[in-house]
Amino acid sequence: MKDIGSCKRHLLTKTLAVICIICSSLFMSGHIAAAAEKGAIKQVVIDTDMGWDDILSILYLMKNPNINIIGITVTGCGETNLRWGTIIAKTLMELGGKTQVPVAVGTSTPLKFDHVFPQAFKSDMNDIMGLLGSLNPDKTMNIDTRPAWKFLADSIDQSEDKITILSLGGFTNLARMLELYPATHIDNIENVYAMAGAVYVDGNVAMFNNARSEWDQGPLYSTNYTAEWNVFADPVAAKNIFDSEIPITLIPLDACDYVILDPGYIEKITATDNLAILARHIFEKKTGSSNEGIPVPIFDPLAAVIMADGMKNYQIHYEYLDVNIMDRMKNNQCGKTSVVEAGTRKIGIVQGVSQVQFATNFAAVINKKVRNE
């Protein structure tokens, strides 16, 4: 017969063990919930043509605690000339104290065609609408010696964590990576979020071309009502990426058209650090002296906010997509993004979004303190 004291001690030991297990479970579940709420920090490469909206996107991500920018790759196939786009990217990293972030240079030559923004527009973007000369950071950094596509391949292959790519200026650098480094471990790409395409809505090539007489570049542009500019800039590159196995989420004009640029964003920026002040000045310029004379969506910052999980509620569905790669002088549809019946894999297409949610999150993040790293 067991001793009564021994039984009590045994019961107490078992009870304490159960309590410890319960407490441990509660502690771990609390940590899991907190981690889920906070979200894992994304390792992000930004591929960009360094237009006004790209800069706003980068400023937002530099202040976002859930984003670690591991590199910037610059393309010259977009809103800025390559030399100036590279200088702007470098200056932003210096201004925000992120000189450890590599800036790699791409190319001004698309895989095919020669679809370019009018130089009058690019010249305005080359100095951030007159703002570049006012940016005088204390720190300096060197440009990465690798071409953009080599930097992309190395980052993807060498990272212990999966890489997220934010594509804001067409697909030339990514397509060159696939062409020149076909063994790149693309299974280490978490996702490519791309501001690109117009799937069910009109494009913006003709609208932009016809907005000002000095931007008119002829019928290849003036008759193209179907293509969005980031695809039109290098449609073959876009097609190659769409045909690849890389996971993609498009934030096309279908979504961007819900979030229109307006002066109301200016008053929402209340922080007084250099990054917030630059964002405020860009909004002032783009809604003032550098306005396009047509309704302009917010474009790239919407893609940045969605990529950074700043908007939880939006409409998305998945389809196979293809890109028209034939230029013609009448009713040009080169760069048109179309739904097709089959393909390598389906692509996410963001459609319905909330302008209020976007504006709230963008302002909340841009008003945060600068993260010193």
pLDDT tens digits, residue range 104-154?
Answer: 999 999 999 999 999 999 999 999 999 999 999 999 999 999 999 999 999
Same-domain check for residues 171 and 99: yes
Q: 350: helix, coil or strand?
A: strand
pLDDT tens digits, residue range 263-301?
Answer: 999 999 999 999 999 999 999 999 999 999 888 999 999
Same-domain check for residues 27 and 57: no
Tell which residue, 90, 68, 89, has the closest CA to residue 142. 90
Same-domain check for residues 181 and 293: yes
3: left (phi over 0), alpha (psi -120 to 50) or beta: beta
pLDDT at 372: 64
Same-domain check for residues 32 and 48: no
Note whether residue 372 is domain-resident. no
pLDDT at 39: 58
Same-domain check for residues 12 and 90: no
Note whether residue 299 is domain-resident. yes
For residue 42, what is the enclosing H or E element?
strand 42-48
Same-domain check for residues 96 and 174: yes
Domain count, the chain: 2
H-type alpha helices, the chain: 4-38, 52-62, 82-95, 119-126, 148-158, 172-180, 205-209, 219-222, 229-232, 235-242, 253-256, 264-268, 274-286, 300-307, 355-366
Same-domain check for residues 47 and 32: no
pLDDT at 373: 55
* The model scores a pTM over 0.75: yes
Same-domain check for residues 47 and 34: no
C-alpha 124/C-alpha 282 separation (Å) is: 12
**Structure token digits, residue 183:** 């063994």
Q: 222: helix, coil or strand?
A: helix
Which residue positions in the chain have pLDDT lower than 50? 1-38
Range of the domain at 24: 1-38
pLDDT at 16: 42
Same-domain check for residues 22 and 87: no
